[in-house]
Structure 1
Amino acid sequence: LELEIIFNKGAVMILPSGINKATGLAAALQDLRLSPHNVVGVGDAENDHAFLQACGCSVAVDNAIPAVKDTANLIMPGARGKGVEQLIAKLIKRDHAIVPKRHDGIVLGSSGGDDTYLSPSDTILIAGSSGIGKSTLATALTERFVESGFQFCVFDPEGDYDGLEGAVRLGDGSSAPTKAQVLDLIAKADSNIVVNGLALRVDERPDFFADLLPGLSSFRRRTARPHWLVIDEAHHLLPKRRDDTRAVLSLELPGTILITVHPEAISTDALRLVTAIIALGPKAKDVVKVFCRETGIEPPKVIPSPKGARVLFWRPQAGKKVKTVKVVEPRQSLKRHSRKYAEGQLDEAGSFYFHGPENAMNLRAHNLMIFAQIAEGIDDKTWEFHLRTGDYSKWFRHQIRDKD
């Protein structure tokens, strides 16, 4: 018979192969739609090893065998029921803060020989100049999420995360995702999602997000999933100009990454929730200064200059110094979505404007198809003017980002 012998201190248990407390826990969590990351397990004997290793936080009581204590995240000073009472008191007082950062944190990179961690309780702002590597950094972080078993959802207004490994895409350049599709798929604990908003007009995106966020926040309150939200082009989805942003925001945005080239255009309510700032590129210092100006936080006295592959990292609410971090590199390389520029809608700043030598017109092309249509209808004088001033090559280089 294919049976396993498992010790339980002074007792011996004979079980079918592959059956233990960990498999029972997994079945229960599936029914409850919960993640093992959000479970605290407590044990004392040999047969507790498997299920303790499966829990987000493993705890040993004082009378536990040495092998269990050696692998537990926490050890209670009390034995048996007393130790469990002490654990409950800690959970009521500190909740997720009882878990060591090295256990549930995601490594951003290294600084001074030490790893820098991002916690699922963090609200993170990633900001910097256009084309400086914000999406690349976000891609690297999603790889860490997959490795650690954290569920994530990427809000991708401009189609930059198509083909992201370990995730299912909802929506494309011609069809927008629906609220029901997103919530139905996110209910599956093993599903990571990229919500592609390329088919939505720029002015439709805040409404879509405002409609989705309450349902998503309610699901997160019940299940603590998805563990991470990645909101690219956050100034589109949480813009400062909207009066109802406070209404759609939760009291907190734990496990949320806001990515933007314009931090000053993000809702001030959202910025005030930020617990960690990652600033990239030659204007990284400006990101920190803009954040402080918008939130009313006292700016740090010293802001170092990041060089090479390093970024600025600062926890504004913790009174920590700004430091530079050498970030992890992604294994995958995502191609920028060509259909985004062909059929999507660039914002006003990214669009091309035909105005001619005398500014007699102001025709906006918000994608390549509209550009081609307008180009066919304008006069030769206007076309030659923009050609000789290099406007076309500048637009393709900086907005379309196609050197050819």
Structure 2
Amino acid sequence: MRYNVLACDYDGTLARHGRVGDETVTWLERLSRAGVKLLLVTGRELDDLLAVFPRPGLFDLIVAENGALLYDPAQHTCDPLCAPPPPELAERLRAEGVTPLGVGQVMIATREPYDHQVLQAIHELGLELQVIYNKGAVMVLPSGVNKASGLAAGLDRLELSRHGVVAVGDAENDHTFLTAAECGAAVANALPALKNACDLRLAGEAGAGVSELAGMMLSGELDGVDVPRHHVLAGFGEGGEEVRLPPYGVGVMVAGPSGSGKSTVVTALLERLIGDDYQCVVVDPEGDYAEYPHAAVLGDHDRVPGVEEVLHVLAQPAESVVVNLIGLQLRDRPAYFAELLPRLTGLRARLGHPHWLVVDEAHHLMPAELRDVPLQSAADVGALAMITVHPDAVSPGAARLVTHAIAVGKDLERTLGGFAQACGR
């Protein structure tokens, strides 16, 4: 499953007229039983939400007040994620007769047309605050606080990555968290601007749309939905056009003779992936990435990193890792990799990351005499890149995972011929 987190807006998305339907609850329960983490991300004040929604325990975490509060239903703990506006603002608005006027732990809320008075008060008091709209509602929050920042705080608490998140909403204040997610979906009753900006338009309205999305997650249909905005630049074609790869489900073989620039190609790809918060694991038999600055390098000439050590670091989704095997005898490296690989797939099944596995010297770690590898597809590790001088010397089981080939060096025809031989194509 590509997505292991569902983040839902409440009003107009999960709920209609403040109430969540029984069928929608049933779908959420199915997702939870399947191991999907559920986050509710709402503009409501927490007490207001709990008064109308009797099942907060369905969710692993609730982000309330449009990103300002993080509530744990299991522990009954509530943590403000920022400081509130000064009390003078609410006092002034109250004195001016602004109504309704809600004052939460952080957020101040009213409705249009009082936004003009709110903006004037913020200006005259010399405050750095933002006004966010939500289908007539007007919310005042500290700058930079929104549903995306609240979602990020929740994911950090759960040690999960935004690249495993599908988010669904309907209104103006949902733009940021739909964009922050790997896939942003809009229910059928969403504002046209949100539908135009999202990755996936659902046929159902409100809770029916959420149920539809849950069904797509459980069936695997959502895994196949292409999200072009996340495609990563791999290089340029003969005509100078960009060549981009999906960040999920691809198997890339980078092949060419020694000194041809394979490491340059892979390093550029890694920098783009890690720069966009994808977690990468580089298995490095020869120490070629020992000085790589954008990942934790484990192991050296004198020490082989333990598998548990690697997994411990990877538990943090923001930390990419280079597994340096230069200290391990050549004959022992395939066995080490054979032990590491199923542990990586297990970690991904549990946490949704890492996102990319990069195997340098793939013909050493997965040699031709190894007929098969314990992967059904590259998606089992998120995405896979294999670098080799000899594509025809790579395990047939690994070669069958290849969806894209990048040939580097002068004799491209010969290199691609070796790739074709390895893949039986």
Superposed pair shares fold, TM > 0.5: yes
**1:157 and 1:198 in contact (8 A); partners too:** yes
Q: Which residue of 1 aligns with 2:180?
A: 54
Code of the aligned partner of 1:40 = V
1: CA distance between counterparts of 2:302 and 2:265? 27
Compute the displacement of 1:25 (Å).
Answer: 1.8
Counting only pairs closer than 5 Å after superposition, residues 143-154 of structure 1 correspond to structure 2 as: 143-154=271-282
Compute the displacement of 1:282 (Å).
Answer: 2.5
Compute the displacement of 1:239 (Å).
Answer: 1.3
Q: Which residue of 2 aligns with 1:109?
A: 235
Q: Which residue of 2 aligns with 1:273?
A: 401
Counting only pairs closer than 5 Å after superposition, residues 369-384 of structure 1 correspond to structure 2 as: none
2: CA distance between counterparts of 1:93 and 1:216? 21
Structure 2 unaligned residues grouped into runs of 5+ = 1-84, 87-128
**1:233 and 1:259 in contact (8 A); partners too:** yes
1:240-273: per-residue Cα shift (whole Å, max 9, x none)?
A: 224xx63x52222231100000112211111111
Name the Cα RMSD after superposition.
Answer: 2.0
Code of the aligned partner of 2:361 = E
**1:249 and 1:270 in contact (8 A); partners too:** no
Q: Which residue of 1 aligns with 2:375?
A: 250
Count of aligned pairs between the two proteins:
293
**2:393 and 2:422 in contact (8 A); partners too:** no
Counting only pairs closer than 5 Å after superposition, residues 278-289 of structure 1 correspond to structure 2 as: 278-289=406-417
2: CA distance between counterparts of 1:277 and 1:17? 45
**2:282 and 2:321 in contact (8 A); partners too:** yes
Compute the displacement of 1:4 (Å).
Answer: 4.5
TM-score (norm 2): 0.65
Higher mean C-alpha displacement, 211-220 vs 288-297: 288-297
Residue 98, structure 1, aligned to residue 98, structure 2 = no
- CA 1:218/1:117 → structure 2, altered by over 3 Å: closer, same or farther? same
Compute the displacement of 1:57 (Å).
Answer: 0.8
1:128-154: per-residue Cα shift (whole Å, max 9, x none)?
A: 111101011111101111222211111
Aligned mate of 1:230, from 353, 358, 362 = 358
Structure 1 unaligned residues grouped into runs of 5+ = 298-404
4+ aligned runs moved over 6 Å, structure 1: none
Counting only pairs closer than 5 Å after superposition, residues 33-44 of structure 1 correspond to structure 2 as: 33-44=159-170
**1:52 and 1:58 in contact (8 A); partners too:** yes
Compute the displacement of 1:16 (Å).
Answer: 5.3
Code of the aligned partner of 2:350 = R
2: CA distance between counterparts of 1:93 and 1:161? 35
- CA 1:115/1:89 → structure 2, altered by over 3 Å: closer, same or farther? farther
2: CA distance between counterparts of 1:211 and 1:78? 45
Q: Which residue of 2 aligns with 1:399?
A: none
Compute the displacement of 1:182 (Å).
Answer: 0.6
- CA 1:187/1:74 → structure 2, altered by over 3 Å: closer, same or farther? same
Q: Which residue of 1 aligns with 2:210?
A: 84
1:50-73: per-residue Cα shift (whole Å, max 9, x none)?
A: 211210111122322233223212
Compute the displacement of 1:229 (Å).
Answer: 1.0
1: CA distance between counterparts of 2:416 and 2:202? 41
SS of 1:166's partner is: coil
Q: Which residue of 2 aligns with 1:198?
A: 326
**1:239 and 1:266 in contact (8 A); partners too:** yes
Give the % identical residues.
44
**1:43 and 1:52 in contact (8 A); partners too:** yes
Code of the aligned partner of 2:307 = K
Code of the aligned partner of 2:394 = I
**1:151 and 1:190 in contact (8 A); partners too:** yes
2: CA distance between counterparts of 1:86 and 1:211? 39
1:275-298: per-residue Cα shift (whole Å, max 9, x none)?
A: 11111122321232223323322x
